[in-house]
Amino acid sequence: MIVEYIRYEVAENAEFEAAYRRAVVPLEKSPQCLDYELSRCVDESDHYILRIIWTSAKDHLEGFRHSEHFMEFFAEIKPYVSNIQEMRHYEPVITKDA
Cα(22)–Cα(35) distance, integer angstroms: 16
pLDDT one-digit tens code per residue, 2-54: 999 999 999 989 999 999 999 999 999 999 999 999 999 999 999 999 999 99
Q: How many CA atoms lie within 13 A of 82 on its CB side?
A: 2
Does the pLDDT of residue 86 top 80, yes or no?
yes
pLDDT one-digit tens code per residue, 47-62: 999 999 999 999 999 9
pLDDT at 98: 64
- Model-level pTM? 0.93
Closest by alpha carbon to 47, among 3, 13, 24?
Answer: 13
DSSP state of 34: E
The CATH class for the domain spanning 2-90 reads alpha beta
Which residues, 6 or more positions from 69, have their beta carbon under 8 angstroms from its beta carbon? Answer: 26, 27, 29, 30
Cα(97)–Cα(84) distance, integer angstroms: 31
Q: Where are the domains of the chain?
A: 2-90
Cα(49)–Cα(62) distance, integer angstroms: 23
Do the Cβ atoms of 74 and 20 come closer than 8 Å?
Answer: no
